[in-house]
Chain A
Amino acid sequence: MVRLAKTPLGFFAVAMGNQLVEIRELPEDPRKAAEELAGNAFEKWASSLRERGYDIEEGWVDPLRIAGLLGMKRDDYIRRAREVAIELARLKLKEAIGKDYLVIQVISALDDLNKSINIMMNRIREWYGLHYPELKEEEHEKYLKLIIKGERKESMGLELSEKDLGALKEIARMGLEMYKERERLESYLKELMNEVAPNVSELAGENLGARLIERAGGLKQLAFMPGSTIQVLGAERALFKHLQKGSPPPKHGVIFQHPMVNKAPAAKRGKLARALAAKLAMAARVDLYSGKLKPEFVEDWKKRAKEIMEAKA
């Protein structure tokens, strides 16, 4: 059994807590070392060990202990750790800033995926419906699992051979994969949003927040939008119609999906959306400049929402 450690001194496999059985050195130059730490060199090294038959256990080895095993003094470790850490932080910061464009790609990919899932599901339901029209299952994912399982009661549907069914099952499996991919993308989007726009995420939730960034074309764009524009983001078509044909102006765009706005009585929604839009503009500005989470935003918004809800119409 060995434990692995990914340290600024290199990668180590440690047995019994005090034997360095494998060492993968890092470049002397802190910058180059940081690049390897930021990339996937460690994962590659770890899987090469696994291939060579090492039994790897979870668990921590103090990097300072490893330094000691290498004959390094505590101060030498600190010096090296600091040099590498500074380079590593620089590398990661470079990636962190400008990541709002990544948010736009990810939420758009989710849109594409949802569309594809719908198209696929229509096809699959029509196809399997030939064979088993009696199957009533509204939820797509469950429906797919039922196809793969292949249980079927008395049916007036068309009888299909294993071979005929096989082709359909392959497609059903692909459908399930798409659902899994959607889940992965959603959790990635959450992480990304908390890094890129923590205050917008707190106020609006990660999904709605990402949608607003996407509609605005970026975090910076969102930060400098007047509240009245944020309020109708996502309702561009209705706005266009209003300007062209004089139909009533849209009261709220995607902001309307916010649970506190959505659940409010119709008479209050416009006001709530306006208040939320104003707070979101401020939150986006803080995200842009400091990236620091300020719980005050949510508190203020909740207070304001309460006032609006309690006011006489």
Chain B
Amino acid sequence: MILRMGRNIATENLVPGRAVYGERLVRKKGREYRVWDPKRSKVAAALMKGMKLDFGEDWLVLYLGVASGTTASHLSDIIRRGAIFGVDPAPRVFREFVLLSGERKNLVPVYGDANHPEGYAGIVPRVDFIVQDVAQPNQAQILNKNVSAFLKKGGLAFVAVKARSIDVTANPRKVFEQFKKELEGVEIVQEKRLEPFEKDHLALLLRKK
């Protein structure tokens, strides 16, 4: 459940009493919520910009570029009865995510590179939802591979595209158009620019055909 509180959004804390990255905890009607900072999380930014996303409480999620788990921690609040398989190859940030997974029973850490889905195909099942936030020049290919390998037909994918990590010099609009052209096997359901929370970022919601 995502709570709207004035200009903020928040998720009900799966582990009451614990903040994950220094976010504010608030109580409402006997429940504790964690404020979801749109400057720290592109999913939160997209939601604040009006993206509509009906999370299923029991979804299985593959998260590519999970880093230390800032965004994943909120998804873990929402998808209480599901699971999030978080993939990242950067040892030091990923270490934080492993610690977080120890506290949250619906997080599964997968140390790996999203360019090589075969490295985690033995543990990740078919999923309802993919989140990708890898800030890499070849992020369209990375997404295509993982969508084709793991996403259910009709399943959704959220992808954050950062123009500067694909091409520093090109006009962001052109980079976004090019990115969309490279996508395979999905249709675009919604798109939102993430200003003012992130500069030159586009969030896309896709559905597998």
Contact = CB atoms under 8 A, between A and B. Distances in A.
Contact of A7 (B67, B89, B98, B123): B123
A89 B90 CA distance: 12
A50 interface: no
Nearest to A75: B81
B101 A292 contact: no
B89 A195 contact: yes
B108 A78 contact: yes
A129 B96 CA distance: 62
A93 B91 contact: yes
A93 B109 CA distance: 12
A220 interface: no
A195 B91 contact: yes
Contacts of A96: 91, 111
A291 interface: yes
A187 B123 CA distance: 27
A93 B111 contact: yes
Q: Looking at chain B, what size class is its interface with the partner chain?
A: 20 to 34
B9 interface: no
B108 A85 contact: yes
Interface in B90-138: 90-95, 98, 101-102, 105-111, 121-126, 135-136
Interface string A273-313: 00000000000000001111101001100100000000000
Given A291-B90, A292-B93, A93 B98 contact: yes
A299 B168 contact: yes
B91 A82 contact: no
Interface of A, secondary structure class, is: helix
A90 B98 contact: yes
Q: Looking at chain A, what size class is its interface with the partner chain?
A: 35 or more
Interface in A1-44: 5-8
Interface stretch (A58-66, A109-117, A204-212, A256-264): A58-66
B25 interface: no
Interface in B4-51: none
Interface string A163-202: 0000000000000000000000000000000010010000
Contacts of B123: 7-8, 63, 81, 84-85
A71 B94 CA distance: 33
A60 B121 contact: yes
Interface in B62-109: 67, 83, 89-95, 98, 101-102, 105-109
B135 to A, nearest CB: 7
Contacts of B90: 198, 290-293
Nearest to A90: B98
A84 B108 CA distance: 9
A231 B89 CA distance: 30
A64 B60 CA distance: 11
Contacts of A64: 125-126
Given A63-B123, A64-B125, A78-B108, A295 B164 contact: yes
B171 interface: no
B178 interface: no
B165 interface: yes
A5 B93 contact: no
A152 interface: no
B83 A82 contact: yes
A67 to B, nearest CB: 8
B2 interface: no
16 contacts: A62-B126, A63-B123, A78-B83, A81-B83, A82-B107, A85-B123, A89-B98, A89-B109, A92-B111, A290-B90, A291-B91, A291-B93, A292-B90, A293-B135, A295-B168, A299-B164
Interface of A: 5-8, 60, 62-65, 77-79, 81-82, 84-86, 88-90, 92-93, 96-97, 195, 198, 289-293, 295, 298-299, 302
